[in-house]
Structure 1
Amino acid sequence: MDMDKRPPADGGDGCLVGVIRIPVKIVAVLVVLPVRVVWELLVAAGRAAYRHVLGPLYVHVLQPLLRALGWLLTTLLKLVFVWPWVGLWRYVLVPVGQGLAWVCRGLYEQVLAPAGRILGTYVLYPLGAALAWIGRGGMRYLLAPLAKGVTWIGWVLGMSLFVWPWVALWRYVLAPVGRGIAWLAAAVYRYVLTPVGHGLVWLAVAVFRYLLRPVGLGLVWLVVAAYRYLLRPVGLGVAWLAAGLYRYVLTPVGQVLVWAWGVAGRIVAALWRGLKWISWVLVGWPASRVYRHVLTPVGHAVREVWRTGRAAVREARATVRRALFGTPPVEPARSRARTLGSTTAADAAPADEISLPRRQG
């Protein structure tokens, strides 16, 4: 992708804009590049911290700790708020309730029910029948006439207190007074309110025609003139200024910053690849060469020397033993012991290791 490729310029851009744009882009790149480098470093540090510190810390420390804490809190809460009440309900309240229910049921079946039947049959039923006979006689020969008399007296008192006085008051007081007030109101309306109302209407029409309407027309003309000769030119000027600022300042600056951000990203990526290549050339490749061409042969040589020395020591030990005891050396039991999963003795010399094939390079 061409880094110098630019979007087609507007029709109003000239040579001066093209000449100025290159230094501006250079300055923008120089300003944005450190910010992009710091941003990339922060992102890499955050990822590394999450991968190697925060993630393992959460998985291996916080998560087991939180699980243990949750189990402990759950156990404590159950121990305080669940298990005592469950035990109280299961081993105290339920047996006590069952015992009380059994006692109450037996008491009802054996005592209360028979006593109630006897009391109802031999006491309450005859007493109720006697009271009913007495009540029917008293109602018929005493209470009914008394109720009729009390009703007539109440009707007379009610009419005397709540009906007849108010009817007389309405007929002989309120109705004549109301008719007089109506006649007076009609006279006031005809000879006072109507002339005054006509005068007020004429005054309102005159105020509207000779005061409010001219003032309103003047205010409307003033508002129209202010809009036409002041607000509209000022608004057009501000809009033109904002459009010019957006078109010739903000938009180019935004485009330059976006372009500089992308260029800074590419530069950072190139620097990172260069650092990786330099580290490989200066450290990795020499270390691999030293390991392959120096350390590996030296290790093989040391191993061969060690094997040769160990074999010579064994031969010398066997010779001394034969010279002293005159018998062929017998391999001790511990040397004949087999190693786990092996068919050779523990002291037997190991077979030659197979070297890895060398990579051409």
Structure 2
Amino acid sequence: MDMDKRPPAGGGDGCLVGVIRVPVKIVAVLVVLPVRVVWELLVAAGRAVHRHVLGPLYVHVVEPLLRALGWLLTTLFKIVFVWPWAGLWRYVLVPVGQGLAWLARGLYERVLAPAGRFLTTHLLRPLGAGLAWLCRGGMRYLLAPLAKGVTRIVWALGMALFFWPWVALWRYVLTPVGHGIAWLAAAVYGYVLTPVGHGLVWLAVAVFRYLLRPVGLGLAWLIVAVYRYLLRPVGLGTAWLAAGLYRYVLTPAGQVLLWAWHVAGRIVAALWRGLKLVGWVLVGWPASRVYRHVLTPVGHAVREVWRTGRAAVREARATVRRALFGTPPGEPARSQARTLGSTTAADAAPADEISLPRRQG
């Protein structure tokens, strides 16, 4: 593939694009292609390791270990924290609580309730009636006059101690002092604070008019001039330079790198298909031929020899048993031992007397 004969992207971008594209293509072929090949090989190796090593290891080793560990931790938690408290509650606290409740209920019903009823009927009720009669008499003839006298004395003392002193303090002390403080504040406001405030206002107006406003106007003019004659031209030049760099350098370089990436992918895919074909020709196809034309016939022959030998051994044991113990009455005649060329299945021959226990074992 001739990279120099490809038309420039975007229709005639000039000789500058061609001059930049040729080194970029060379760098892409020398750098991007090996990186892409190594990347594809690493991806294939990672997939193979995940499929044939990590996946079975997790399924058959890690996951059963985690399940067993979870079951063990759950069981230990139940044994240490759940079952002891449940047993304590079910077999100790509940029976003890029920026994205490039954004892308290019996004590209340058999002892406390009858004693309370007896004391209420024969002692507390008459005693309460007598005390109520005594309190009514004492309240009427003794406590009521005494309470009236004490109330009058307390009222007089309260007025003398807590009301009249505060009234006198307000009338003869606080009111004159308040009037004096109000007159003093009015004088200070009228003859001190008002002139000082007017002077501060005039000073603030003068500072703003003759200092802050000229300084602010000068700074604004300076900012406008810096923006108009410095920042704006520099920004326009930077934007033009960035646009030219993007249009005539970065865009062709990106297109060349993208093309080189696709070409590298196709080359890697072709190499992978070639490697698979070579592996099949060198390993897979010979192995399949050997398995089909060598191992399979040998396995069939070994299986037939094994089955024939087993049938012969069974027949010999049956013959020895008949010679020693005789033929059982009503026993069906046994089939002849099959040969290598027979197509009858080995399991079609009747099994001997010990075949069932041997199979079960």
Q: TM-score, normalised by structure 2?
A: 0.76
**Residues 19 and 185 from structure 1, CA distance in 2 versus in 1: closer, same or farther, beyond 3 angstroms?**
closer
Note the alpha carbon deviations across 1:126-179, whole angstroms, 9 max, x for none.
111122222222222333333322322222222222221222222222222322
Counterpart residue identity of residue 249, structure 1: V
- Aligned counterpart, 2:339: 349
| Mapping of residues 171-250 of structure 1, within 5 Å | 171-250=171-250
Change (3 A) 1:199 1:106: closer
CA displacement at 1:332 relative to structure 2: 4.6
Matched, 1:135 2:125: no
d(CA) in 1 for partners of 2:39, 2:118: 100
**CA displacement at 1:102 relative to structure 2:** 1.7
SS at match of 2:269: helix
Is the CA contact 2:8–2:18 (under 8 Å) kept in the aligned structure 1?
Answer: no
Q: Which whole-Å CA distance do the structure 2 matches of 1:189 and 1:74 have between them?
A: 84
Q: 1:170 to 1:291 in 2, by over 3 A?
A: closer
Partner of 1:359: none
Q: Report deviation, 1:117.
A: 0.6
CA contact (8 A) 1:33 1:264 kept: yes
Contact 1:335/1:345 (8 A) holds in 2: no
Q: Cα distance, 1:268 vs. partner?
A: 0.6
Q: Taking structure 1 as the reference length, what is the TM-score of the superposition?
A: 0.76
Name the residue aligned to 1:144. Answer: 144
Asked whether the 8 Å contact 2:24–2:257 carries over to 1, the reply is no
Tell me, yes or no, if structure 1 residue 162 matches structure 2 residue 152.
Answer: no
Answering whether residue 266 of structure 2 is matched by residue 271 of structure 1, we say no
Structure 2 residue ranges without an equivalent (≥5)? 309-314, 322-333, 344-361
RMSD: 3.5
Taking a change above 3 Å as real, the CA distance of residues 173 and 95 of structure 1, as seen in their structure-2 partners, is closer
Aligned to 2:357: none
Contact 1:29 1:263 in 2 (8 A): no
| Partner of residue 24, structure 1 | 24
Q: Which runs of 5+ in 1 are unaligned?
A: 311-330, 338-342, 354-361
Aligned equivalents of 2:86, 2:295: Cα separation in 1: 74
SS in structure 1 at match of 2:13: coil
Q: Distance in 2 between matches of 1:124 and 1:84?
A: 51
Give the Cα–Cα distance (whole angstroms) in 1 for the partners of residues 6 and 320 of structure 2: 83
**Contact conserved, 1:336 with 1:345, CA < 8 A, in 2?**
no
Q: Secondary structure at the match of 1:145?
A: helix
Distance 1:5 1:155, change over 3 A: farther
CA shift in 2, pair 1:350/1:64, >3 Å: same
Matches within 5 A, 1:1-361: 9-10=9-10, 13-18=13-18, 20-285=20-285, 295=294, 332=316, 334=318, 345-346=336-337, 348-351=338-341
Quick one: which amino acid aligns to residue 177 of structure 1? V
Identity rate of aligned residues, in percent? 80
Structure 1: distance between partners of 2:260 and 2:210: 71
Residues 289-314 of structure 1 deviation map (CA, whole Å, 9 limit, x = unaligned): 67777x589969xx7xx99xx9xxxx
Shift of 1:73: 2.0
How far apart in 1 are the matches of 2:210 and 2:67? 89
Give the stretch that moved more between structures: 262-271 or 177-186: 177-186
Residue-pair matches, total? 319
CA distance in 2, matches of 1:291, 1:194: 118
The aligned residue for residue 313 of structure 1 is none
